[in-house]
Structure 1
Amino acid sequence: MSRTSSLRTAVSAVLIALSCLLVPFGTLAAWAAYDLTDTGRYVTAMAPLAADPAVRDAVADTVGDGVAREAGVEDGANRLFIRDAVRSFTATRAYRTAWDAGNEAAHTAVMRALHDDSTGRVTVDLAAVTTPLKRQLTADHVPFAERVPVTHTRVALASPAELTALRKGYHVLDVAGFWLPLAAVVFAVAGIAVAAVRRRAITATALGTALGGAFLGVAVAIGRHLTLTDLPDRAHRPAAAAVYDALTTTLRTASWLLLALGLTVAAATWLTTHPHSPTTRLLRRRPAAPTTPPPPPPEPTRVEA
């Protein structure tokens, strides 16, 4: 191998390694910047959780305890009755309406705070939840639905310190979500272009992409384990697991796509170009097409005297 070929191979290896290293981080940043921050996608992802049994139990426990505390109920039987009533309400269409409205209001409030320069707490107005809830109850002809009060009570979602940290992280992800995937593609194309043997460069890039997808899938699983382990209340871990799985659905799908795409491209490259692959050997063994022999030259014409 000449010195020029060795240099091209080394440069190609560095560029491809950088590309494969950026694949999982770029995918993670793009997911956080474009999937989690989109209110419509967030509400759509969270909507099925309204019917999840673990989430319904967690809502019944939290809301039921809150109602009992506000009403001054200390008796265990009465608390259980209130919890069962809330649990029954979570099976209604009005609850699903309130669930979607609450998620939309909370996400909108957080995103609005991330985009402006306010230093106060992030709050959400409960009227954004009670208004569609009252409308749904009225449409279902629930007695006294029109008397449901629509109060403009603001509930805190994040403190000023938490908002500052969230804003910094959001700005970093907003930049990284665009540039990291773009850099991964540019490095991959450049690494293949300068390679002395492009077949090997394509195979290495494909395998590295598959490895990045596998790494991303493992990272999502580890993050799920750590998130659930850090929860102080073990009873709410099934609900937290359902929320985590709903939010990371796109990320897990992307990891499987990267793994499948990388392995497919690597296998196709090997089958079509490797000298010892079954496809190459089959092409070599294929008999050549028969050629038609040229016609014989015409006989000379005899001229009689």
Structure 2
Amino acid sequence: MFPRSRSALSAVLIALASLLAPCATLAGWAMHGPADTGRYVAAVAPLADDPAVRDAAADTLGAGFTGFVDEATAGPVNGAVRLFVRDAARSFTRTEAFHEGWDAANRTVHAAVLRALRDDGAAGHAVTVDLAPVTERVRDRFAEDHVPFARRIPVRHTAVTVLPAHDADRLRKGYRVLDVAAFWLPLAAVAFAVTGIAVAACRRRAVTAAGIGTALGGALLALAVPVGRRLTVAELPGPVDGPAAGAVGAVYDALTETLRTASWLLVALGLAVALASWLTGRYGRPARRTPVPEPPGEPAPPRPSRTRL
């Protein structure tokens, strides 16, 4: 194969490897980050102390309790009661019972969603969870803390829809694609990079190009994370500057923390490989020896000329 053909083939393979590297990182993060229930709960556990999450939870709890009182009294409650319920809900979000309920609710919801995504027989069905065990756990914690009327808190077994059927089916298809991509994309990226370096006319330059391409792919992935955050918050219904938007943003930041770290590690790895290859080529070459001129010697005696008779 001619050197130009080898260089062109090497450039194409290295470009493909550079494009697949961030895609493989994203697929691996999606399968081993948010898809793991333990890691997910551990990632969102500190969010129970986030002010935006507390405000959103307090609004949800206050609205639910007010609706329960409306049903019990057959009429709307007055403003003073609503203000009291709101203050009580905000105070509850600062207790240890709220933290336990937060972890239990996230674990229950995440396990239900993950079970539905992995079950092909659940096609066409919405993802629902029963939060009665969570409510019962919070009620027992209130009773242990001697909260008045804690035992009278009703525990209702109501199926709460987490994902509609069409959203669950769409996510199930995407989950299967990610499962395959998380295994094959890293192998393909490594295979393309190794082959591109092997067929290159100048392997040192190919290694440098592969390192730079990997670093650029990691940088693009790092820039895509905040763009995804804006798009996620923008898709929220209603105004995007309320507590719900802040809560969603905080959850997004917690879940993508490992992705941001992986993208910058990809940048550092690519730059390290490129720098090592460049330094090796610049300072690792053997020094060229300049030819030393021989010292001038004594002139050779002239040859006797033959006279032709």
| Superposition TM-score tier, normalisation by shorter sequence | 0.7 to 0.9
Q: Which residue of 2 aligns with 1:114?
A: 117
Alignment size in residue pairs: 278
How big is each residue's C-alpha offset from its partner over 1:14-71, in whole Å with a ceiling of 9 and x where there is no partner?
A: 1111100111111111111221211111111110101111110111112212222332
Q: Name the SS of the counterpart of 2:160 in structure 1.
A: strand
- Whether the 8 Å contact between 2:69 and 2:77 is mirrored in structure 1 is no
- Are 1:266 and 2:274 counterparts? yes
RMSD: 2.1
Picking from 265, 272, 281, the partner of 1:257 is 265
Q: Name the SS of the counterpart of 2:162 in structure 1.
A: strand
How big is each residue's C-alpha offset from its partner over 1:144-166, in whole Å with a ceiling of 9 and x where there is no partner?
A: 54554443222111122221111
| Alignment of structure 1 residues 214-293 onto 2, 5 Å | 214-231=219-236, 232-233=238-239, 234-235=241-242, 236-274=244-282, 279=283
- Whether the 8 Å contact between 1:126 and 1:153 is mirrored in structure 2 is yes
Amino acid at match of 1:36: P
Q: Which residue of 1 aligns with 2:162?
A: 157
Structure 2 CA distance for partners of 1:138 and 1:190, relative to 1, 3 Å: farther
- Are 1:187 and 2:185 counterparts? no
Distance, in Å, in 1 between the alignment partners of 2:195 and 2:97 is 55
- Are 1:124 and 2:129 counterparts? yes
Q: Name the SS of the counterpart of 1:123 in structure 2.
A: strand
Amino acid at match of 1:100: D
For structure 2, the 5+ residue unaligned runs are 71-75, 289-309
- Whether the 8 Å contact between 1:105 and 1:128 is mirrored in structure 2 is no
Structure 2 CA distance for partners of 1:161 and 1:230, relative to 1, 3 Å: closer
- Whether the 8 Å contact between 2:127 and 2:168 is mirrored in structure 1 is yes
How big is each residue's C-alpha offset from its partner over 1:181-211, in whole Å with a ceiling of 9 and x where there is no partner?
A: 2211111111112222111111111111100
How big is each residue's C-alpha offset from its partner over 1:220-272, in whole Å with a ceiling of 9 and x where there is no partner?
A: 11111112223223212222111110111111111111111111221122122
Distance, in Å, in 1 between the alignment partners of 2:205 and 2:66 is 68
Structure 2 CA distance for partners of 1:21 and 1:169, relative to 1, 3 Å: same
- Are 1:213 and 2:218 counterparts? yes
Distance, in Å, in 2 between the alignment partners of 1:182 and 1:129 is 42
Structure 2 CA distance for partners of 1:190 and 1:131, relative to 1, 3 Å: farther
- Identity over aligned residues, as a percent? 58
Q: Name the SS of the counterpart of 2:91 in structure 1.
A: helix
For structure 1, the 5+ residue unaligned runs are 286-305
